């Protein structure tokens, strides 16, 4: 967050209570080009423009930029930010809203930290993981843009509707099912089982059924299921989920998925 930049940079004073665009950009951790873009959109108007053509910003501009940066970090696009700012006439009320959003974000991050500590402790101790502990403080919507880019807006909206239609207990059960599958993959890999053995194929069948549920009943074909396994290996976020059960587990999962797809799909 850049929320503290006002207090940190009170000494950056160009003329009385004014900041040049370069000093304001430096204090806020952004660029002059970005500030000019905000100005062109009507989001951040300079207090005045000097005879040399330079833009200068006063105290109210700093407060407004603080709001813009916060809303950006909360995931709002510039058009949405413009609507929010247009509806705010009371500076003190806006700052109170700003503070409450920061407190909510602080609480979410604290829950994430506690969640990761729990996952690390249980992983090192070889204890089973629980979905409500692993994902406390996380929100699936943070991957919205990535899902849309990879598979299209329809895929995101369909999946999001399905996810939100479930109760909290159903969501936890779905996540827990995958944690159990991942743990079983890890045990099979540690035991040296072949990826095309009956025992491993039964795990992959559960995995395939789990993916099908997420697709709201649509059954992935061999190409999709195989590519999904490749993505697990290529994306370190997925690899971390599987390799917590032992180095090389992600590659084992990929190979098992490929063997299953070749034999069954």
Give 121-130's long-range contacts (Cβ < 8 A, gap of 24+).
123/244, 128/183, 129/179, 129/183, 130/176, 130/179
Give the model confidence (pLDDT) of 61-94 as tens digits: 888 888 888 877 766 777 878 877 777 666 677 6
- Mean pLDDT (whole number) for 198-205: 96
pLDDT surpassing 90 at residue 185: yes
Q: What is the pLDDT of residue 68?
A: 85
Range in 15-24, 64-73, 125-134, 192-201 with the lowest mean pLDDT: 125-134
pTM for the complete prediction? 0.48
- Mean pLDDT (whole number) for 103-110: 70
pLDDT surpassing 90 at residue 259: yes
pLDDT surpassing 80 at residue 254: yes
pLDDT surpassing 70 at residue 98: no
Q: What is the pLDDT of residue 263?
A: 92
φ, ψ of residue 10 in degrees (nearest 5): -65, -20
């Amino acid at each position: 967050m850049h929320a503290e930049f006002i207090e940190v940079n009170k000494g950056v004073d160009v003329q009385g209570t004014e900041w040049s665009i370069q000093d304001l950009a430096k204090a806020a951790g952004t660029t002059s080009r970005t500030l000019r873009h905000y100005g062109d959109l009507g989001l951040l108007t300079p207090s005045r423009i000097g005879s040399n053509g330079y833009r200068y910003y006063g105290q109210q501009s700093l407060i407004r930029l603080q709001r813009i940066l916060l809303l950006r970090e909360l995931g709002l696009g510039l058009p949405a930010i413009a609507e929010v700012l247009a509806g705010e006439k009371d500076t003190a009320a806006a700052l109170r809203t700003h503070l409450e959003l920061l407190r909510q974000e602080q609480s979410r991050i604290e829950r994430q930290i506690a969640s990761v500590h729990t996952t690390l402790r249980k992983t090192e101790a070889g204890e089973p993981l629980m979905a409500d502990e692993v994902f406390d403080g996380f929100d699936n919507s943070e991957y919205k843009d990535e899902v849309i880019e990879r598979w299209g807006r329809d895929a995101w909206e369909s999946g999001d509707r399905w996810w939100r239609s479930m109760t909290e207990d159903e969501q936890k059960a779905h996540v827990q099912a995958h944690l159990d599958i991942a743990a079983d993959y890890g045990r099979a890999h540690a035991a040296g089982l072949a990826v095309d053995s009956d025992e491993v194929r039964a795990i992959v069948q559960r995995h395939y059924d789990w993916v099908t549920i997420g697709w709201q009943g649509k059954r992935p074909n061999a190409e999709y299921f195989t590519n999904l396994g490749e993505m697990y290996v290529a994306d370190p976020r997925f690899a971390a989920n599987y390799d917590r059960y032992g180095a090389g587990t992600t590659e084992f999962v990929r190979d098992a998925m490929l063997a299953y797809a070749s034999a069954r799909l």
